[in-house]
Amino acid sequence: MKTFNYHSAKDVKEASKLASSNSAFLAGGMTTIPSIKLGLATYKDIINIKNIKSLSGIKASSKTLKIGATTKHVEVANSKDVKKAIPSLAALAEGIGDPQVRNRGTIGGSIANNDPSADYPSACIALNAVIHTNSRKIEAEKFFKGMFETALKSGEIIEAIEFSIPEKSNYQKYPNPASRYAVVGVYVAKHKGEVNVAVTGAKSCVYNDKDLAKALSKNFSSSVIDNVKISSSGMNSDIHASAEYRANMIRVFAKKAVEAC
């Protein structure tokens, strides 16, 4: 492993100041550390942001649920506020990786990494999340740009993720048997006046399936899903599943999610 200079920032301002084009912020490190170990990433500076208290915690209001960037998966999974406001989000957190990953990994880290198979990006899209950074607020639809790519700029730090509390929601996934990443994951959320159907694991980046969303907005019933065309074009095909399999799983999980709502 290539070495780096380790820093521990006491506040967001200091962390942002230490950042450069050759640095990474370190929260749980559940992707950053393996990437460094495997030689997939090298950095001159690693900036620990776990000691910045303002970045952690869960706040519920009547319309939204705001989760600090360094809040761990285990905290989201066990939070009474999350279970009450958006139970599907607590269930999603409970299904990430394994207990040791959930004890370290953070929501902000997951979103900043934007792994095409990660769970949290689908929650952001389905729940109309707003990503609060140290310089602006970004809508989830504009945040996830492509494979491992987000709208974040150098030195920009996610401070919190604010989710809209839906009327109903449910997340279904087929976890990879080894990593528990989603081979395919579908997050259905029914808001007042609209439905979102966020899909992860199927393409190079999370997306809202507009056709499914439109059909379910008119009639929120699993029976309408059979009439929606789901093309496998552009979908991932690998040793875990073919593109056609993934397309079919989206239909299966969308139905299951609607029925579980």
Partner 1 sequence: MSKISLEVNGKKITKEVPDHTLLSVFLREILNLTGTHVGCDTSQCGACVVHVDGKSIKSCTAFAADLNGSKITTIEGIAQNGKMHPMQEAFKKLHGLQCGFCTPGMVMSAIDLLQNNKKPSDTEIRDWLEGNICRCTGYQNIVAAVKEAASKM
Closest CA to 109 of 54, 48, 61, 64: 48
64 scored as a contact of partner 1 (CB under 8 A): no
40 scored as a contact of partner 1 (CB under 8 A): no
Q: Return the range that interacts with partner 1 (CB under 8 A); candidates 131-139, 178-186, 219-227, 230-238.
A: 178-186
178 scored as a contact of partner 1 (CB under 8 A): yes
| CB 2 to partner 1: min, Å | 7
DSSP SS3 for 60: strand
34 scored as a contact of partner 1 (CB under 8 A): yes
* Span 179-238, contacts to partner 1 by CB under 8 A: 179-180
Q: Give strand ranges (E) for the chain.
A: 5-8, 23-26, 45-48, 58-60, 64-68, 130-133, 137-139, 144-146, 149-150, 158-164, 168-175, 182-191, 194-200, 207-208
**CB nearer to partner 1: pick between 45 and 81:** 45
Label residue 22 exposed, middle or buried (CB < 10 Å: 0-12, 13-18, 19+): exposed
173 scored as a contact of partner 1 (CB under 8 A): no
| CB 109 to partner 1: min, Å | 13
User: Contact at 8 Å (CB) between 203 and 116?
Assistant: yes
3 scored as a contact of partner 1 (CB under 8 A): yes
Site string for partner 1, 73-102 (x = CB under 8 A): -x----------------------xxxxx-
**CB nearer to partner 1: pick between 98 and 238:** 98
132 Cβ neighbours under 8 A, 6+ residues apart: 66, 158, 159, 160, 161, 162
DSSP 142-157: HHEEETTEESPPTT--
* Whole-angstrom Cα Rg for the chain: 18
**CB nearer to partner 1: pick between 178 and 239:** 178
| CB 126 to partner 1: min, Å | 25
- Which residue in 11, 12, 14, 33 binds partner 1 (CB under 8 A)? 33
| CB 255 to partner 1: min, Å | 25
| CB 29 to partner 1: min, Å | 7
- State how far the alpha carbon of 120 is from the alpha carbons of 170, 181, 225, 233, in Å: 13, 11, 24, 24
The site for partner 1 (CB under 8 A) is made up of 1-6, 8, 26, 29-30, 33-34, 36-38, 46, 48, 50, 74, 97-101, 103-104, 178-180
